[in-house]
Structure 1
Amino acid sequence: MKLSCLLPILGLVALSDAAKIKEFIESPSEGPDLSEYKLTTTLPITSFPPPYAWPDYAPSLTIYLHAPQDWAFANVSNTVPIAPVLDTGSNGLMLDALDLNITNATLANYESGYQYLSSSTRLYRGAWIPFRLEFADSSGELVNVSAEVPVLIVNETLQCSGYDTKWKGDCPEENTSNHNLNPRGTQWWGIGFGREADGQSQGTPDKNALLNIKSINGVNVSASNSYRAGYSLRKNGVVIGLTEENTQDYTWMKLEMQKGFSKDPRDWRNVTGCVSIDGGTCRLSNLLIDTGVTLSYLSTADKEVRLVPSNSTSRAKILAAGQNVLVRFGIEPGYSGIQYNFTTGSNSSWEPDEVSTKLVDYGREEKINTGVHFYQEWETLFDADGGYFGVKYVGL
């Protein structure tokens, strides 16, 4: 992306959406006062060879697991590190029961749980079990940071087509395929926010390990007045603990409280902005910056977009090559906006592999999932205590 891409644009949010604007409060902001917060550290990214290197692909963090002190978990290793994939499009760490030597009888003693990932149409079932996590670098050396969080220990997976959120952890037989009662290999680590309405009603802030840090370099976080819960995702690592110094030059957007899923004061809705295709109306949309996919997913009521069959699946439609996609953060009238844009098929490092597109009727939710390649040139941060989202352009 050229620096010229950062120049203000004057396109307006669709006039038909004007009545909706007052429902949202995301807009450019001076951000929170972080001058009193000093406790912070950077968790090192665990790197993998291309094509799975961050930010071409999702990042990973290395951790050691510490299960509850009970004979039922005697065979769960706390000496072998794992490096789950970090996914900002979901919330909650998921690991397979068989991989950890945890029996179904043990799972039955804990709260049943599920997560549905819409990009893969996969439903995960199991139980939420409390674990202590110790963070490490890619060599397995501890970095003196710990968290305590429920982990979804999975003993069942299936594909659920046409998933309806009212089904929760169930899926009708006619919608079910690839049902696996002995899954192995799942190491998926959701660190996102505002995802409950997308098949993840249990993905509340108490499941987010990065928001439930217990100690940093021996300091008890819960007893410290110097710790601001939140994180920043960067090329060189994941910053936990927001300070005035480590949030310089970010553009902030105030978030709206998430309602109906938890009473946690750190539960916030997705970011809102607008999306324009080929210079058309910038349409009010929910924005998701998702590390978990290399594609982009667009739902739009703009019937002028040009669609062609997907390169990866004949069932999907994608934006044809040569179309410009502009994503603007914030929706306050008169705000020209911080913007991320790309041209499909240009082979730039910051464009998604393709833009899977769904046309929706006017009045239905419009949204975009940018995919992970956004992070080629940008950083993001999430202030869970104050309810802010921030973006910063850093270039290639």
Structure 2
Amino acid sequence: MSKLAVSHPPFFNDSTVDIPTPDKFAGFTETAEVGWGSPNVSWRVAPALNIIVNGIHRRATIDTGSTGALMDKSFLPTFDPEEVEEGHVFYSSSKILEEGYWVPDVEIEYFGPRGVRIMSKTPVLAVERAVSCPQFNQTLHGHRCPKNATKGVVKRAVQQPYFGIGFGRDRDTSSQATPDRNPMINIVSINNVTIDRTKYHPGYIITHRSIIVGLTSNNTEGFVTMDLEKGPNWEKGQRAWAGPKVSVALNNETYAKGSQCSLLVDTGVTQMYLKAGREFQPDDEIKFAIPDEESPVATYTITNGGRRNAMSPTKVLNSTSLTPYVNTGRSFLTKFDVFFNPIEGQYGLRFKGSGEEDFVKFYPV
């Protein structure tokens, strides 16, 4: 984007990160900022938004590690299970399977402390029960945990609405995690006025104060963007992008060539999940280069179990992912704002540190 133009680092690779180009957001002016239910400077808790659904005020946890809004079926208008789609949301970190039905075209209103209101319209999963189902496989099991695989009912259903706004989550166990079910990229009105598709660019920005919907030249100032690859279900919906990439090195080892991991900045958890080459060990120093070490947008370092810094998760766990994978947890957001552009397929980072930190570096384009 032209407004971000500064000198390139010497290892800059034009094929990975956007170079200055005509502004993709020129002409788009409709946007709205909705403050979190409680400000989140340290990111010790998951962010939440105040909502109105079915005429009742509630608070919804906002999760970038999943896709799809879900809530107890009693929170939604009465529906006939025979007339709606059976469905599920599976959380790979906790192995919790939420079982229910997708109620179509549910309008959810979100409001902040300054009176700004936005509305989304998507299917919402009306949850009947939540179970621990470690071996869940949608191909084998459909949308329900088989009785012999259930580790017990965790709760009848979600006590607080839980809204997944992430992307790149449409894997085998979550093939229903499609863009049409992502509330924050399916906004239909701002302050009770229907959005103008010629002036509203879908997408969102996450900061410690708020979520901003509608991407503009002004609110994307300071971000560096990375182009995303098409996800496995691209043909089913052309906003189905894969997640961004990251390279990982342990201790003084070099970054392994060709071993980029899928990167997930997850507001839903405090811990990190890591699958990168060998398993990490206690007190390993872990280095990250986003998207890779040859043309980084950002680099940072944490020490598992040792000296902590602001971007350190509460703990690091070896991921059970079958492919290289890093879930940073939400501590990543102590030093970066992020944005998602679902139309052109971009992920953006904006550094909000002082520049004096010795554990993180940002390379603006």
Query: Shorter-chain TM-score: what band?
Result: 0.7 to 0.9
Tell me the C-alpha RMSD between the 2 structures: 2.6
Instruction: Indicate how the Cα distance of structure 1 residues 256 and 47 shifts in structure 2: closer, same or farther if over 3 A, else same.
Output: same
Shift of residue 324, structure 1, vs aligned partner: 2.0
Equivalence for 1:41: 32
User: What's 2:212 paired with?
Assistant: 239
Closer, same or farther: CA 192–198 of 1 in aligned 2, 3 Å: farther
**Normalising to structure 2: TM-score of the pair?**
0.84
Question: What is the SS of the residue equivalent to 1:247?
Answer: coil
CA contact (8 A) 1:148 1:209 kept: yes
Matched, 1:338 2:307: no
SS in 2 for 1:276: strand
Alignment of 1:40-79 (within 5 A): 40-47=31-38, 55-66=43-54, 78=55
Equivalent in 74, 81, 86 of residue 62 of structure 2: 86
Retained in 2: the 8 A contact 1:26–1:271?
no
Q: CA deviation at 1:156?
A: 1.8
With over 3 angstroms needed to count, the CA separation of the structure-2 counterparts of 1:113 and 1:262, relative to structure 1, is farther
Q: Which residue of 2 aligns with 1:309?
A: none
What CA deviation, in whole Å up to 9, does each residue of 1:274-301 have, x standing for no partner?
1111132324111000000000000122
1:286 to 241, 257, 262: 262
Match for residue 299 of structure 1?
A: 275
Does the 8 Å CA contact 2:319/2:325 hold for their aligned counterparts?
no
User: Shift of the alpha carbon at 1:339?
Assistant: 1.5
SS of aligned partner of 1:245: coil
Offset of residue 202 of structure 1? 0.8
Pair 1:136-2:96 in alignment: no
Aligned counterparts of 1:324 and 1:269: Cα–Cα separation in 2: 28
Deviations 1:137-175 (A, max 9, x none): 25xx75232111111010022111133342341333332
Q: Distance in 1 between matches of 2:84 and 2:320?
A: 41
1:185 aligns with 2:159: yes
Aligned-partner SS, 2:48: coil
Deviations 1:163-213 (A, max 9, x none): 334234133333211136833514211000010116221111111111111
Distance change in 2, residues 1:108/1:143 (3 Å): farther
Equivalent position SS for 1:95: strand
Q: 1:127 aligns with which of 101, 125, 140?
A: 101
TM-score, normalised on structure 1?
A: 0.78
Q: Call closer, same or farther: CA 1:135–1:142 in 2, change over 3 Å.
A: farther
One of 213, 226, 250 as aligned partner of 2:223:
250
Specify the alignment match of 1:116 in structure 2: 90
Deviations 1:53-99 (A, max 9, x none): 76222111111013xxxxxxxxxxx0x3111111100011110124x
Tell me the alpha carbon deviations over residues 95-124 of structure 1, each in whole angstroms, 9 at most, x when there is no partner.
0124x2766x73333111101101110111
**Amino acid aligned to 1:151:** V
Supply the AA of the counterpart residue of 2:122.
Answer: V
Whole-Å Cα distance in 2 between the matches of residues 355 and 262 of structure 1? Answer: 35
CA distance in 1 between counterparts of 2:296 and 2:115 reads 45
Q: Which amino acid aligns with 1:152?
A: L
Deviation (angstroms), 1:224: 3.1
CA contact (8 A) 1:160 1:176 kept: yes
4+ residue segments displaced more than 6 Å: 7-10
The alignment-based identity, stated in percent, is 26
Q: Distance in 2 between matches of 1:83 and 1:262?
A: 34
Mark the CA change 1:358 to 1:201 in structure 2 (over 3 Å): closer, same or farther: closer
